[in-house]
Amino acid sequence: MSIVNFYQGESIPLELHKVRIVQKLSLVPVERRLAAIAEAGNNTFLLKNNDVFLDMLTDSGVNAMSDRQLAAMMEADDSYAGSATFTKLEARINDIFGKKYVLPAHQGRACENIISQAFVRPGTIVPMNYHFTTSKAHVVINGGAVEELIIDEGTAVTSDHPFKGNMDTGKLAALIEQHGADKIAFVRIETGTNLIGGQPHSLANLREIRRVCDRYGVIIVFDASLLADNLHFIKTREPECKDMTIRQISRAIADLTDIIYFSARKLGCARGGVICTNSEEAYLKMRELVTLYEGFLTYGGMSVREIEAIAVGLDETMDEDMVSQGPQFIAFMVEELAKRGVPVITPPGGLGCHIDARRFLPHVPQQQYTAAALAAAVYLAGGIRGMERGTMSEARDEQGNETFAKMELVRLAMPRRVFTLSQVKYAVDRIAWLYDNRALVGGLAFTEEPKLLRFFFGKLAPVSGWQAELAAKFRQDFGESL
Ligand SMILES: *Cc1c(COP(=O)(O)O)cnc(C)c1O
């Protein structure tokens, strides 16, 4: 993807691909959106896709696939053992990451299950730059504890730090000194930190982490699920890497790690998961768990067609046009929203555009689920489905009190190569309209609150008639328009 300057001054990210398979979308009228969000209990996870125009819930398993990927899927070798398809994946991993042992799993969290069972013991610690929901859960279920050592800027809502996903290596060394290296199961680095806005880490930071780990004999496990975006940020924001190819940067990263794993629902634009390493000892520890939980070593719970697609998808990820598309579209959306005064997380990261609901709706208290209310309002305003990342995603404590999230965010994910720029402009317009009418937006209260994972299945209702008023205002402002 390149940034192209127009003769008349505008500068836009231009799509360097053409669309050859399309899927029809429907944009339902605001009256239907009002009914649909009520039917979904104001939980965007529960909306029916027929009522959704732009599905910005997630980037997982929904990135566009290429003609080459679809063609490769037809060539898949379905043999139970010794599949030629798996051999292709091994060769590709070896080529890109320089790791010779490759283990398949059905998705990212399945890799985390295997790695955690192999390395985490009760009482051990896993330092991380930042946790991801499933990665933390697998450490904890095996008796370990997570220590987040993100740099201080990492959780600042607005900042101009180019690498907010970096780890504080001083804190890492101090933590290892304090507990002893034998208490550290491994150090986990997440590229493109999912839960704090897809913010990247730098190659220099990883090198520094390696130095600390080598001093104490600790291994590095690298979660590469969001690597594509991070490659773009390293190439464009880290001066020492500006003349390196995406392939060279990928290899430089890989050479600083001991074990790499990823969700191929994100990296590689398909569905599945992969673990790789050069350590025979680590490989042997994990191998039997793959056969126990996933399947034989040459498919690991994945369809061989998906394995073909991953092999091609990884190759295509080594292309600057490919890795820059998501971040440049996200940057466009963030900057256009910021120009209109909408509070967004800056600088723009990967994964999606993150709206700061506390600044958007300062009059809606966290007790009324600020981010969830904003996610429902964004749907009403434009048929746009985002994801709540705030208090609704937390769990109550043992006494039943709310634990308020540090940030109340609405994440609008940007699946790679899926949306056109006019769709992104539409989203910007409707969110800007909503911002100008923010005083109309009110809070939510639970009507059905599951004990576990309430953000998936919980249902809420508006605390007042605000949604009908917002829909009426939409009609008044937009006339017959959808
Ligand atoms: C999505 C994700 C995972 C989990 O992968 P799944 O394929 O959804 O199981 C792990 N780590 C990160 C950083 C992710 O974004």
Task: Give, using CA atoms, the residue closest to atom 4 of ligand 1.
Answer: 108
> b/e per residue, 347-365, with b = 16+ CB within 10 A?
bbbbbbbbbbbbebbeebe
Counting ligand 1 atoms within 8 A of each CB, the residue from 59, 60, 229 with the most, and so the one to mutate, is 60
Do the beta carbons of residue 125 and residue 175 sit within 8 Å? yes
Residues with CB under 6 A from ligand 1: 60, 107-109, 132, 134-135, 190, 194, 223, 225-226, 263, 265-266, 273
Peptide bond into 347 cis (omega under 30): yes
Domain 68-316 in the same topology as domain 2-59+321-478: no
Dist. CA 97 → ligand 1 center (Å): 19
The minimum-distance atom of ligand 1 relative to the CA of 264 is 7
Is residue 199 helix, strand or coil?
Answer: strand
Counting ligand 1 atoms within 8 A of each CB, the residue from 225, 267, 275, 310 with the most, and so the one to mutate, is 225
Counting ligand 1 atoms within 8 A of each CB, the residue from 266, 389, 411 with the most, and so the one to mutate, is 266
Dist. CA 392 → ligand 1 center (Å): 20
Dist. CA 223 → ligand 1 center (Å): 8
Tokens of 53: 């125009």
φ, ψ (nearest 5 deg) of residue 295: 145, -175
Dist. CA 58 → ligand 1 center (Å): 11
pLDDT given at position 157: 86
Dist. CA 108 → ligand 1 center (Å): 5
pLDDT given at position 1: 64
Residues designated catalytic? 80, 132-133, 223, 266, 389, 455
Dist. CA 298 → ligand 1 center (Å): 21
φ, ψ (nearest 5 deg) of residue 69: -65, -45
Distances in Å between the Cα of 264 and the Cα atoms of 105, 213, 475 are 10, 27, 42
Do the beta carbons of residue 471 and residue 54 sit within 8 Å? no
Dist. CA 299 → ligand 1 center (Å): 19
| Structural domain spans, the chain | 2-59+321-478, 68-316
The minimum-distance atom of ligand 1 relative to the CA of 107 is 7
Counting ligand 1 atoms within 8 A of each CB, the residue from 59, 62, 109 with the most, and so the one to mutate, is 109
The minimum-distance atom of ligand 1 relative to the CA of 110 is 9
What is the model's pTM?
0.95
The fold of 2-59+321-478 is Aspartate Aminotransferase, domain 1 (3.90.1150)
Question: If we measure between CA atoms, which residue out of 462, 480, 460 comes closest to residue 43?
Answer: 460
pLDDT given at position 79: 85
Mean pLDDT by 10 residues, the chain (482 residues): 84 91 95 98 97 97 96 91 93 98 98 98 98 94 97 91 97 98 98 93 98 98 98 97 98 98 97 98 97 95 96 98 96 97 95 97 98 98 97 91 93 96 97 98 97 92 98 96 86
Strands 2-5 and 273-277: unpaired
What is the DSSP track for 26-55? ----HHHHHHHHHHTTT-GGGS-GGG-SEE
Architecture, CATH, for domain 68-316:
3-Layer(aba) Sandwich (3.40)
DSSP 323: H
How far is residue 228's CA from residue 266's CA, in Å, rounded to a whole number?
9
What is the DSSP track for 366-405? GGG-HHHHHHHHHHHHHSEE-EEESGGGS---TTS-----
Residue 349 makes CB contacts below 8 A (sequence gap 6+) with 164, 165, 192, 193, 197, 198, 199, 200, 229, 233, 327, 330
How far is residue 27's CA from residue 33's CA, in Å, rounded to a whole number?
9
The minimum-distance atom of ligand 1 relative to the CA of 191 is 13
Q: What is the pLDDT of residues 221-271, one digit of tens each?
A: 999 999 999 999 999 999 999 999 999 999 999 999 999 999 999 999 999
